Structure 1
């Protein structure tokens, strides 16, 4: 019986799928933190093993050939079965590798420490790479294969991504007592006397707060937007403006009187957070880690 000149291992199958999803050898190299020649060599060796070409390299993007599409079908099945085998009968403590986790900063300031404690206890062999960013960026990172799992504002609403609910946080108006705002109900015009400190432009909370304040008379509000929750909290503590953020993030500052929650009479929508991930060969592992996040969020 004729034998292939070289074998095709799981790393090669994962690389084929990644290049196919990104349509680029260079993007795959960046995602895997390696070089484009290394990716090209890995694919070439797999092609040589079967005597076919997986990708048409004549254009600017790597396009699957008919053989490449068939190879991707088999690769997904093989890697899914491998992942299921490891996660159904394997010891979680024996898992090795790196989890690339994207997190919204609201989670960083609330239940992320509890999750990290559970993660370290359950998967002591896994290394964690943490990326804190706004939810729109985290969604892009997931689709690009740059992260494996994200805790972000949902619902995500992307068919290519799986998601499960984690937690919900009410959003309110928070200010330093030095602003001397009335402790009874604060009207829109009183809110608009100060800059409104809130999430980055392009996020759902920013759009909702801007819409609420613009519907009243008196012109557009001053919005100080930031992707850094720590920056927003610092500005609120310094009396620079009124923060429109989840009170849970500054629970201790409210308890000790450094900040107060204003009664505006205008309820802002809660922020709902989900765990989101792409369908990959590690979906069983990632789903299990999402379960740990859900447990942490409920405590």
Structure 2
């Protein structure tokens, strides 16, 4: 992959690791942004990471553009030599697929969709070659996902499916964005999954909804008291399908302040994952399935 650097006005540098999304590009971007943030660079103001790129903002009165660019390029060399390992966490996210709220919403916006006669799940199943919605849902929750970026709106995670490229689910966005999307909708656009942290406009296909809050500016939710945003780049997500009864139980537990997400710490190795994706994913699932006791 060939990194491309470009200046944005007088205060920004945009760094594109690769034109095509991949875990290799994400890991390199993550390694670089972490090294830059820890590099004690005078004049560095902000770092904004994305899926396979990032942008920095600096004060040109403190550091010259050419000087900070040279620092970043030196960090790139170090990042390429660094081991592609990451101390992170794997998180179980319950999902009510085909829920009534996203269904009501998607039916209101069928004129903006590629397939006005079906649902988003039916459309996703058909264009990905599955014979049923159930098979498509199985493929969606059957493998973990990497959180590669958090943004667009506060707390919204972009997620990249951890399977080889031919098996990755791909679904285009709506032809025209909706003006409404239910809060905590599990969506998909292109090769990326997401969870809408708040209610609002959106263009991703809607597959279901999670009862687990991921953003709370008031920090009243028990698992968000330390920080209002739950996800961070590098998190690994495993979706788990639930029925309406369990969904309602989790909602009640959240409102009562007793719900806690299922989380396990893990050391992820990109090399080991690439050597045996399915076997490595099974090991991740085994770590996640360890009893809470």
After TM superposition, the score normalised by the length of structure 1 is 0.24
Q: Which is strand-richer, 1 or 2?
A: 2
- Structure whose residues are more often helix by fraction: 1
Q: Which has the larger radius of gyration?
A: 1
Say which structure, 1 or 2, has more relative contact order (CA 8 Å, 6+ apart). Answer: 1
- TM-score, with normalisation over the residues of structure 2? 0.24
